[in-house]
Structure formats: structure tokens, C-alpha cells
Amino acid sequence: MGTTTIYQKHNDFGRSLRLMSKKEIEIVSELSPYGKNTSYLGWSVPVELHNKNVYLLVFWKGRMMRLEQARERLINKYYDKYRGKTINMYEWTVLKKFILTQVEYQDSLFKKALQKQKRSSQNQGERNG
């Protein structure tokens, strides 16, 4: 077991890995989320996963972070780019609502799949018996 480093491209102007020289790739591979500089040539390292430790990651407005860190980082008011105004809610509150809604939706799909599987196994039992 080792360390898995997750690389994130900042923007479309960042250089492609295929076009980088060997020296530039070495610099990118040495980036760490714990160092002073976490980015180079449009690439950043938001998180590293270590030896069986699994962290829930969230991607919010172009940033990837651990779920535990999101509460401290998302302290600004939420700006809705589609409406063009700031909503009177913090980014953390909006993210929490999005996550809970998605979890409830996925849970309902899971329950439906279990019920369908249970019905199909009962139908198979009736046919065989």
C-alpha cells in the first residue's frame, strides 16, 4: 500500500501532461497538498490518499477537497451564477442540501432495486414450485 496522489487541472490554459518536458513532469510529480506551493503550470494536488485511509472527496466550484475540510473552507455566501446574485445561504449549507438530496435519491433507487430483485426471486420460486 502506498500513497495515491490526485492531480487536478486548474483551467484549460494549463499545459497538457503530454506536452511537458521531463523536468516539468518531475516538478508536477513532487507537488503535495501539504507544501507551500500546491500548483504548477495549471495543475494542483488537492488531496493525497494514504495506506487504506479513504476520504470522502467533494468537488465544489472547481475545487476538490475532503468532506471534513469543506465545512471550514466554504464559509462564503453562495453566489448563484445562473441568477446572477448572492443567495442568503453559506456555500457549506448549499453543498449539504445538495449532498443530502442526492443521498436520498440514490437510497430510493437502491430500495427500488432491492424490491425488484425480491419480487423476481419470489416469481422464480413460484414458477419452480
18-36 pLDDT, tens digit each = 888 889 888 888 887 777 7
CA angle 86, 91, 93 (to 5 degrees): 115
Give me the domain span that covers residue 127.
71-129
| Residue 75 lies inside a defined structural domain of this protein | yes
CA angle 5, 33, 40 (to 5 degrees): 85
74-112 pLDDT, tens digit each = 988 988 877 888 888 999 999 899 889 999 999 999 999
> 31 and 75 in one domain?
no
Please provide residue 91's backbone torsions phi and psi, each rounded to the nearest 5 degrees. -60, -40
Number of domains in the chain: 2
Quick check: 65 and 58 in contact, CB under 8 A? Answer: yes
Does the pTM surpass 0.75? The reply is no
| Residue 64 lies inside a defined structural domain of this protein | no
| Residue 37 lies inside a defined structural domain of this protein | yes
Last residue of a domain, one of 29, 54, 79: 54
> 2 and 43 in one domain?
yes
**Which pLDDT score, from 0 to 100, does residue 109 have?**
94
Please provide residue 87's backbone torsions phi and psi, each rounded to the nearest 5 degrees. -90, 150
| Residue 61 lies inside a defined structural domain of this protein | no
Distance, CA of 30 to CA of 94 (rounded, Å): 34
